[in-house]
Amino acid sequence: MLDQIQGLHHVTSMARDARTNNRFFTDTLGLRRVKKTVNFDAPDVYHLYYADEFGTPGSVMTYFPFPNIGKGRPGAGEVGTTAFSVPQGSLDWWAIRLADKGAAPVEAQETFGEKRLFFRGPDGEGFALVETAGDDRAPWTGGGVGEDTAIRGFHSVALRLREGAQTAELLTFMGYRPVDSSGAVTRFAIPDGNGADVVDIETLPGTPFAGLGAGSVHHVAFAVEDRAKQLEVRKAIADTGYQVTPVIDRDYFWAIYFRTPGGVLFEVSTNEPGFARDEDQAHLGEALKLPTQHAHLRDYLEKNLVPLES
Residue placing its CB nearer to Zn ion in the complex, 101 or 274: 274
Dist. CA 152–CA 139, nearest whole Å? 5
Question: Rounded to whole angstroms, what are the CA distances from 79 to 104, 180, 197, 225, 229?
Answer: 20, 19, 15, 24, 25
Q: Smallest distance from the beta carbon of 62 to Zn ion, in angstroms?
A: 7
Q: Residue 165, SS3?
A: helix
Q: Smallest distance from the beta carbon of 9 to Zn ion, in angstroms?
A: 8
DSSP state of 89: T
Nearest to 217 by CA among 153, 267, 150: 267
One symbol per residue from 72 to 111: x for binding Zn ion (CB under 5 A), - otherwise; what is it?
A: ----------------------------------------
Q: Smallest distance from the beta carbon of 172 to Zn ion, in angstroms?
A: 23
One symbol per residue from 122 to 151: x for binding Zn ion (CB under 5 A), - otherwise; what is it?
A: ------------------------------
Residues in CB range of 303: below 8 A, 6 or more apart: none
Dist. CA 89–CA 86, nearest whole Å? 9
Q: Smallest distance from the beta carbon of 277 to Zn ion, in angstroms?
A: 16
Q: Residue 56, SS3?
A: coil
Q: Which residues pair with 221 in a beta bridge?
A: 10, 267
Is 186 a residue that touches Zn ion (CB under 5 A)? no
One symbol per residue from 196 to 225: x for binding Zn ion (CB under 5 A), - otherwise; what is it?
A: -------------------------x----
Q: Are 162 and 207 in contact (CB under 8 A)?
A: yes
Is 12 a residue that touches Zn ion (CB under 5 A)? yes
Is 256 a residue that touches Zn ion (CB under 5 A)? no
Q: Residue 75, SS3?
A: coil
Residue placing its CB nearer to Zn ion in the complex, 57 or 122: 57
Q: Which of 103-111, 138-146, 201-209, 266-274 is the region at the interface with Zn ion (rule: CB under 5 A)?
A: 266-274
Number of residues that bind Zn ion (CB under 5 A): 3
Q: Are 196 and 48 in contact (CB under 8 A)?
A: no
Buried b (16+ CB within 10 A) or exposed e, 190-205: beebbbbbbbbbbbbe
Q: Which of 9-17, 76-84, 92-100, 202-210 is the region at the interface with Zn ion (rule: CB under 5 A)?
A: 9-17
Residue placing its CB nearer to Zn ion in the complex, 12 or 37: 12
Q: Smallest distance from the beta carbon of 134 to Zn ion, in angstroms?
A: 28
Q: Smallest distance from the beta carbon of 252 to Zn ion, in angstroms?
A: 10
Dist. CA 139–CA 30, nearest whole Å? 10
Task: Name which position in 72, 220, 267, 275 contacts Zn ion (CB under 5 A).
Answer: 267
Dist. CA 25–CA 206, nearest whole Å? 33
Residue placing its CB nearer to Zn ion in the complex, 45 or 86: 45
Nearest to 251 by CA among 289, 297, 305: 289
Residue placing its CB nearer to Zn ion in the complex, 123 or 267: 267
Determine phi and psi for 209, rounding to 5 degrees. -65, 150
Q: Smallest distance from the beta carbon of 45 to Zn ion, in angstroms?
A: 14
Q: Smallest distance from the beta carbon of 39 to Zn ion, in angstroms?
A: 11
For binding to Zn ion (CB under 5 A), which residues are involved? Answer: 12, 221, 267
